[in-house]
Amino acid sequence: MHHPDNPFEVHRPAHLGRRGFLLGTGVLVTTGLIAPQPRAAIAGESSGTPYWRPTVHFTPQRNWMNDPNGMVYFRGEYHLFFQHNPYDDQWGNMSWGHAVSHDLLHWEELPVALEPDELGTIFSGSAVVDHDNTSGLFDAEPGLVAIYTSAGETQQQSIAYSADRGRTWTKYSGNPVIENPGVADFRDPKVFWHDETQRWVMSLAEGDRIGFYASPDLLNWQRLSEFGADQGAHGGVWECPDLFRLPVEGHPGRSKWVLIVSINPGGPAGGSGTQYFLGEFDGTRFHNDGDSDEVRWIDQGADFYAAVTWSNIPEADGRRLWLGWMSNWRYASDVPTSPWRGSMSVPRELLLIETDTDLRLAQRPVAELERVRRRPRRWSGAVSDAPEYRGSELDMTAEFQLAGASATSFGLEVFTGSDQVTRVGYDVTARQLFVDRAASGATVSDGFPARHSVEHIPNDGVVRMRILLDRCCVEVFGDRGQVVLTDLVFPQPRGNRVRPFAENGEVTLNSWELYELDAH
């Protein structure tokens, strides 16, 4: 959970009215909730920028959103909480917004779940199912426990619990459960049950390190260790950690522990970014398998941050699912959407893939996305002969034959209009997959128009891309999801042409599949 300037500043817009009052400490305490508006009304909105509201990416009905929080699956519902300002489209009054889904694509936004109190505003955190009532907070059936950062004069860790499927929450009377030890940036608890030691384990961002804690009951915590000194990237503060075990695809019985760490600034495309480490966790310490100075980025685009995974996914499902905030702290406050500001990525499955040289974390859009694909179109042949299509909500796959290509770069031009284009392509000379939004439409900030790229050397002479387009969202997955680029663009509404391109030569499209996405 990043704070733009002052972590304890509370913004009170003029239209707040009687929904809240200010305490002497500068903490906003709310006395009511914003009633949710039906999704049908949002889908038909006429004011603001409805042409930029995505259809398969979650957005709040209105106002500010950043980090995903408290992601947990419980009794048939995926819960997505999120950093939210219920009263304004700028960062402030941090609360937990709340939405639920049965399929990861269609979301119902519920009333605000957690609001500021005497300990401060509500920063990022996680949620778990207390199956065995280790906390003693539930009378009969298992309930949900949220672990979050209270951001007041200092940042401390608190909990809240729900016995009604997350619809109402009670804050624990003994909060905070972890007091601040004198660290300015002390936040974003991510908790899971560690089977081997039969206790809860927490990953916590502490400056530019990750602290690990353990508890038998979610209430009483002991500090175990820390990780991060001289490890990975340190261009900014570390945030939103996540620690989990992931099996190696195609190798039954083999697995590694994955530690996710978001960082701001210092990301690969400037500003926010998300790095990861592979290694072992013995219940007390995390040991990095890689070189200490090695930096592994999970996404080379500008707009994928604070990603964390869902807890309590059923064993029968077996997937490790996550999503991230599609924005960047360099310009998040200037994103030109209205009446909302902030979008999540499409939910993705995480996989650990063995390459010729090492293990690599890969991402793929969830399979549920295929349920809303409509009107398939397929084409193959020389790019110079390729047709042009229209669409701003598309799921596409393209395979280009690198062997024999004379073009210096090739790919697909999307969101194309008279004076705008976004290019998703491959640079043959640099051997890089890229997204070029230099002329993509609205310019959000000075650093927004740019080309973002990642090294990609196909081992079979075929460049494969999967490209998701959703009005203002571009997500590109290459090489079985081992290279990923996530970027926002803001094209004019009529700029929706899609066509292949090749520069300074020719290339063959072995296959091009295009589906319209219809999640209505």
Whole-number Å distance between alpha carbons of 499 and 423? 10
Query: What secondary structure letter does DSSP report for 15?
Result: G
Q: What is the pLDDT of residue 3?
A: 52
Say if CB 388 and CB 380 are below 8 A apart.
no
Specify the number of domains making up the chain: 2
Asked if residue 5 belongs to a domain, the reply is no
The residue among 320, 338, 365 that closes a domain is 365
* 326 & 434 share domain: no
Asked if residue 9 belongs to a domain, the reply is no
Asked if residue 251 belongs to a domain, the reply is yes
Type and span of the H or E element at 353: strand 348-354
Could you give the dihedral angle defined by the CA atoms of residues 227, 231, 232 and 236, in that order, rounded to the nearest 10 degrees? 70
Whole-number Å distance between alpha carbons of 363 and 19? 41
C-alpha torsion sign, points 102, 104, 107, 112: positive
Whole-number Å distance between alpha carbons of 326 and 333? 13
* 425 & 303 share domain: no
Domain span at residue 426 reads: 371-517
List the pLDDT tens digit at each of the 520 positions of the chain.
655 543 323 333 333 222 232 223 333 333 233 333 334 335 446 679 999 999 999 999 999 999 999 999 999 999 999 999 999 999 999 999 999 999 999 999 999 999 999 999 999 999 999 999 999 999 989 999 999 999 999 999 999 999 999 999 999 999 999 999 999 999 999 999 999 999 999 999 999 999 999 999 999 999 999 999 999 999 999 999 999 999 999 999 999 999 999 999 999 999 999 999 999 999 999 999 999 999 999 999 999 999 999 999 999 999 999 999 999 999 999 999 999 999 999 999 999 999 989 999 999 999 999 999 999 999 999 999 999 999 999 999 999 999 999 999 999 999 999 899 999 999 999 999 999 999 999 999 988 999 999 999 998 999 999 999 999 999 999 998 999 999 999 999 889 999 999 999 999 999 999 999 998 7
* 389 & 259 share domain: no
Whole-number Å distance between alpha carbons of 341 and 501? 33
* 390 & 339 share domain: no
* 286 & 377 share domain: no
* 86 & 169 share domain: yes
Whole-number Å distance between alpha carbons of 469 and 453? 18
* 186 & 288 share domain: yes
Q: What is the pLDDT of residue 7?
A: 33
The residue among 365, 381, 404 that closes a domain is 365
Q: What is the pLDDT of residue 133?
A: 98
Catalytic residues: 67
Query: Domain of 26: which CATH number?
Result: 2.115.10.20
Asked if residue 80 belongs to a domain, the reply is yes
**pTM, entire model:** 0.91
Asked if residue 1 belongs to a domain, the reply is no
Nearest to 52 by CA among 519, 510, 493: 493
Cα 141 vs. chain centroid, distance in angstroms? 31
Q: What is the pLDDT of residue 38?
A: 37
* 261 & 154 share domain: yes
The residue among 365, 384, 416 that closes a domain is 365
Would you list the DSSP string of 13-82? Answer: -GGGGGGEEE-TTS-EEE---PPPPPHHHHHT--SS-GGG--SSS---SSEEEEEEEEEEEETTEEEEEE
Q: What is the pLDDT of residue 13?
A: 33
The CA–CA distances, whole Å, from 179 to 29, 119, 154, 461, 478 equal 21, 11, 9, 55, 43
